[in-house]
Amino acid sequence: MAENKIPKRSEVPEELTWNLGDMFESDEAWYKENEALKEMPGRIAAFQGKLGESAEMLLSFFRLEDEVELRLSPLYGYASCKNDQDQGNSVYQDMRGKAMSTFVAISSAAAFATPEIMAIPEDTLNLFFVAQPELETYRRSLYRIRRRAEHILTPAEETLLAAAGEMAQSPDNIGSVFRNADLKFPEVEDKDGGKHQLTSGSFVPLLESSDRVLRKNTFDAYYDRLGEFKNTIASTLDAEFKQRRFFATARKYPNTLAAALDETEVPQEVYLNLIEAVHANLDKMYRYVSLRKKMLGVDELHMYDVYTPIVADAAEKISYEQAKETVLEALQVLGDDYVELLKEGFNNRWIDVYENEGKRGGAYSSGNSRPHPYVLLNHKDTLDSMFTLAHEMGHALHSYHSCKVQPVSTSEYVIFVAEVASTCNEVLLMRHLLAKTTDKKQRAYLINHFLDSFKGTVYRQTMFAEFELEIGRMAERGEALTADALSAKYHELNKLYFGPDMVSDDGIALEWARIPHFFYNYYVFQYATGFSAAVAIANRILSEGETAVSDYKKFLSSGGSSDPISLLKIAGVDMSTPDPVNSALQLFGELVDEMEKLV
């Protein structure tokens, strides 16, 4: 497809678009099903007050929930995909709105279920399992509801907390509106006096420029402007941690970290082990920083030099057809059955490939895997796009395996393991490319791509996680999160993570003010743990072969059938120890070694 003109949706060849007819043969069929689902809230409400009456009643309710999932998932999936393929189409904007209304109505009708299930005495529930063995299918679902019993309050208190929930979103909402709508920046000049528009979106692309004057002016202008509002932004972050403290205390958790991680059954030790392991491997990061300084040929390396490429452009155009073939070759190590599934996705239009007018940006694999997953790309015939293809198909086949093997109630996996399969595919692709590349320039280009992924995903996200942990502890001690306190802590961590060869410019102390993830309640650490687990699994697959592949496929097929730490152990990775992070960063060090020799 021509790169200089973005086509209209109607101009995209059909074979390069996804086939949504596998969900609904027509929009009319979708509208008919949406209308039919309007009876569902009434069917659900009929169970209210009865879940503890008998094993049969509880089983019937869970089976109805399964039916809801099997019907609602494609309903919402079809509407979302239709909307995402052309967001300017008002028909599909309306369809998506209707799907959301149906979802909300059904969810609201089922709100009684959790407190009723919580209220069933343990002895009674044990008798239910004996009386109705088919309830075993839902033991995991029951456990996930009941495991947090000590943190569930009285109905009146729960009602009060629920009412406070919308208010608790205010710090994140205010921060988002400020960053994305109200915050404006001046134009910045390059070395030739040319003007460039600076926005939150253009900030990193401008820092990728080879023009160091432009990079410095961009960095200074951005943080100077951010500094004018540092007290306002700090106040929103202070409010965020105050509401976390409120809810953690109300639900009888020892601290905000425990409250957040308990949602997905991740022990606090996993979070703390990650930070400890990365600290133990900071020497490798320091060597990478030193290498960057050397390759850029600068007397001082500044924070505005972090994003610019350090390898002279060795990029080759990689067509979509070439990308598919290379991905198939790289993932052959996962067996013929895995490759055949990939081919099925490639050949049967699971994927929407190229950009068109109005199409949603970025890339994703839909969570809906019935009858199969759908993948949205905006392919650009680059190395990055090839890795994105491998990444999203990793998500897709994880979902496919889980939905095929698991009952409906345990087919969805939690966010802690969500990035493992996708990143494992990327690691296998990178190792494949390196194994068949001897050209020094090309190897350096590939290794740099991999090193940047490591740096951005493991080191940087762990630094964010440590900052969030530290300010959470400050809040729990009753300390106000002032702009000066936040900046001092962030500057300290930046110096620790980048080491002696990096000039930690004053402006970087304000970077916390531009990162939305600090409002996501201890979320970012999962990027680093997921990447580390994926590297460990890929290494095991390449070194042990069939046994490791078999274990990995069991993991892919496990959905949410157990807690995430136990699921990863199936694949041979124990995230309750620092070993996977140490192993991943050992590979990072080996790649730095090779890069030093190549240059």
Q: Render pLDDT for 352-382 as a digit per residue (tens, 0 to 9).
A: 999 999 998 889 998 777 899 999 999 998 8
Query: What letter would DSSP give residue 8?
Result: P
Q: CA–CA distance from 383 to each of 158, 326, 404, 433, 490 (Å)?
A: 50, 11, 32, 11, 33
Positions in the chain whose pLDDT score sits under 70: 1-4, 313
Predicted pLDDT at 202: 86
Q: What is the dihedral of CA 376, 378, 381, 384, to 10 degrees?
A: -80
- 3-class SS letters over 390-417: HHHHHHHHHHHHHHHHCCHHHCCCCHHH
Predicted pLDDT at 485: 97
Closest CA to 230 of 179, 181, 304, 188: 179
| 344 noted as active-site residue | no
Cis peptide before 500 (omega within 30 of 0): no
The torsion angles phi and psi of 341, rounded to 5 degrees, stand at: -65, -40
CB 499 within 8 A of CB 301: no
Predicted pLDDT at 367: 73
Catalytic residue of the set 65, 240, 355, 392: 392
Q: CA–CA distance from 437 to each of 316, 432, 433, 441 (Å)?
A: 13, 9, 6, 10
C-alpha–C-alpha distance, residues 150 and 169, integer Å: 24
Write out the two tokens for 366. Answer: 């839909």
By CB atoms closer than 10 A (0-12, 13-18, 19+), residue 482 is middle
* Chain-centre distance for alpha carbon 75: 23
The reply to whether the predicted model has a pTM over 0.85 is yes
Triad 224, 230, 232: Cα angle to 5°: 140
Predicted pLDDT at 6: 85
Q: DSSP assignment of 459-520, as one string?
A: IHHHHHHHHHHHHHHHHHTT----HHHHHHHHHHHHHHHH-TTEE--GGGGGGGGG-GGGGS
Predicted pLDDT at 313: 67
C-alpha–C-alpha distance, residues 507 and 61, integer Å: 56
C-alpha–C-alpha distance, residues 561 and 577, integer Å: 22
Average pLDDT, the chain: 94
Q: Give the chain's domains with CATH numbers.
A: 10-147 (1.20.140.70)
Looking up tokens 């086949």 gives 397
| Number of helical (H) and strand (E) elements in the chain, helices listed first | 27, 7
Residue 442 in 3-state DSSP? helix
Predicted pLDDT at 141: 95
Q: Which amino acid is at 290?
A: S
The torsion angles phi and psi of 355, rounded to 5 degrees, stand at: -65, 145
Q: What is the pLDDT of residues 309-356, one digit of tens each?
A: 888 767 789 999 999 999 999 999 999 999 999 999 999 999 999 999
Write out the two tokens for 562. Answer: 């157990």
By CB atoms closer than 10 A (0-12, 13-18, 19+), residue 213 is middle
C-alpha–C-alpha distance, residues 169 and 167, integer Å: 5
Longest dimension (CA), the chain: 81
CB 317 within 8 A of CB 381: yes
Predicted pLDDT at 3: 45
